[in-house]
């Protein structure tokens, strides 16, 4: 005789309340009322004929029976999530979802994607942008392009490219009212900054150039995304610190120039990251081969011709 399975809602309420040791927090997570969680757990206890929680002075504790029951329930819900994810992934073999930084997507990846789509018309590429690391078991993402040292756990990381950092500006600033001909001339120009991971780029470059860091304290503009900072430089609003990956194309098209010869090597680079168990999926293999081949063909270690004096 088969045992009748208990209520799924009751099991969900039990797992959430046991994880948080709080009916209130469990209710918020499940988007129901605290009373509903309490009723679902009480009904589950009646179905099982076992007491699951001890309630004492507004606190709850797991009974010994609940402590033994919980790992199996948690594993069952995890199996349901993974099975659903595998089912959805099988239905989306032609959709490749890539997560990356917004600025890298705007300034480097998107201009190149047309070539991939032309070579792989059976694969639809979806780009999602985030500064957070991807959880490949939770998020609907096949691969990510991330900046760092390639030391992320539980994933495979293929080296893509390194960056250098150096000032860039609109050609109009070179010989304007306040010519930009020597690094010392930066004291008379607006500096464009990016918050977050790139916030120290100006300080690092100025130190390497032997210039005082108090130049950073002068009037400037700060943006939260690098591609917005670069656009402000293109529009002539000031001088930005460029990273090779973000400014290479704008330099090649004459929208930006590199006013000084000195570039500073960055201490990290970009990697294509993905789970080992998805490494051989056809859509990921196609994207990885195209991406690595594109980088080998075009090169990305420095602006075209190297970092050079914009005046020739």
CATH architecture of the domain formed by 164-266: 3-Layer(aba) Sandwich (3.40)
What gap in Å lies between CA 256 and CA 242, rounded to an integer? 10
Whether 179 and 185 have beta carbons less than 8 Å apart is answered as yes
Contacts (Cβ under 8 Å, ≥6 apart) of 124: 94, 95, 96
CA angle 215, 219, 222 (to 5 degrees): 100
Quote the pLDDT of residue 90.
53
Query: Locate tokens 């990016």: which residue?
Result: 194
Q: Is 132 exposed, middle or buried (0-12, 13-18, 19+ CB in 10 A)?
A: exposed
H/E run at residue 157: strand 156-168
Quote the pLDDT of residue 11.
92
Extents of the domains making up the chain: 8-90, 94-162+268-298, 164-266
**C-alpha torsion sign, points 174, 175, 178, 184:** positive
pLDDT digits (tens, 9 = 90+) for 250-272: 999 999 999 998 888 877 788 99
CATH architecture of the domain formed by 94-162+268-298: 3-Layer(aba) Sandwich (3.40)
Tell me the fold of 8-90: Arc Repressor Mutant, subunit A (1.10.10)
pLDDT digits (tens, 9 = 90+) for 3-18: 678 888 999 999 999 9
What gap in Å lies between CA 102 and CA 114, rounded to an integer? 18
pLDDT digits (tens, 9 = 90+) for 32-75: 999 999 999 999 999 999 999 998 877 889 999 999 999 889 88
Q: Do domains 94-162+268-298 and 164-266 have the same CATH topology?
A: yes
Cβ neighbours, 10 Å, residue 202: 23
* Backbone angle region of 108, left / alpha / beta, with phi > 0 → left and psi within -120 to 50 → alpha: alpha
Closest CA to 227 of 242, 238, 239, 237: 242
């Amino acid at each position: 005789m088969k045992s009748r399975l208990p209520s799924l809602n009751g099991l969900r309420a039990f797992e959430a309340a046991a994880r948080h040791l709080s009916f209130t927090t469990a209710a918020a997570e499940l988007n129901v009322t605290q009373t509903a969680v309490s009723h679902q757990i009480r009904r589950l206890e009646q179905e099982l004929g076992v007491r699951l929680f001890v309630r004492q002075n507004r606190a709850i504790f797991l009974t010994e029976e609940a402590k033994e029951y919980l790992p199996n329930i948690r594993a069952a819900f995890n199996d349901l999530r993974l099975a659903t994810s595998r089912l959805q992934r099988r239905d989306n073999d032609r959709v490749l979802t890539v997560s990356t930084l917004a600025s890298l997507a705007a300034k480097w990846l998107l201009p190149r994607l047309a070539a991939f789509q032309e070579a792989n018309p059976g694969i639809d590429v979806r780009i999602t942008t985030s500064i957070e690391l991807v959880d490949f078991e939770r998020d609907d993402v096949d691969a990510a392009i991330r900046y760092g040292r390639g030391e992320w756990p539980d994933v495979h990381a293929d080296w893509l490219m390194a960056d250098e950092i150096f000032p860039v500006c609109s050609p109009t600033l070179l010989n304007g009212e306040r010519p930009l001909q020597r690094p010392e001339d930066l004291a008379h120009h607006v500096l464009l900054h990016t918050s977050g991971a790139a916030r120290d780029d100006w300080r690092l470059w100025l130190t390497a150039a032997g210039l005082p860091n108090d130049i950073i304290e002068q009037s400037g503009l700060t943006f939260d995304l690098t591609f917005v900072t670069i656009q402000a430089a293109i529009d002539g609003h000031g001088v930005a610190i460029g990273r090779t990956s973000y400014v290479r194309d704008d330099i090649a098209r004459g929208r930006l120039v590199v006013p000084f010869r000195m570039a500073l090597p960055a201490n990290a680079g970009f990697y294509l990251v993905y789970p080992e168990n998805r490494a051989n999926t056809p859509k990921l293999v196609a994207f990885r081969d195209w991406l690595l081949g594109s980088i080998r063909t075009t090169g990305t270690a420095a602006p075209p011709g190297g970092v050079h004096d914009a005046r020739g």
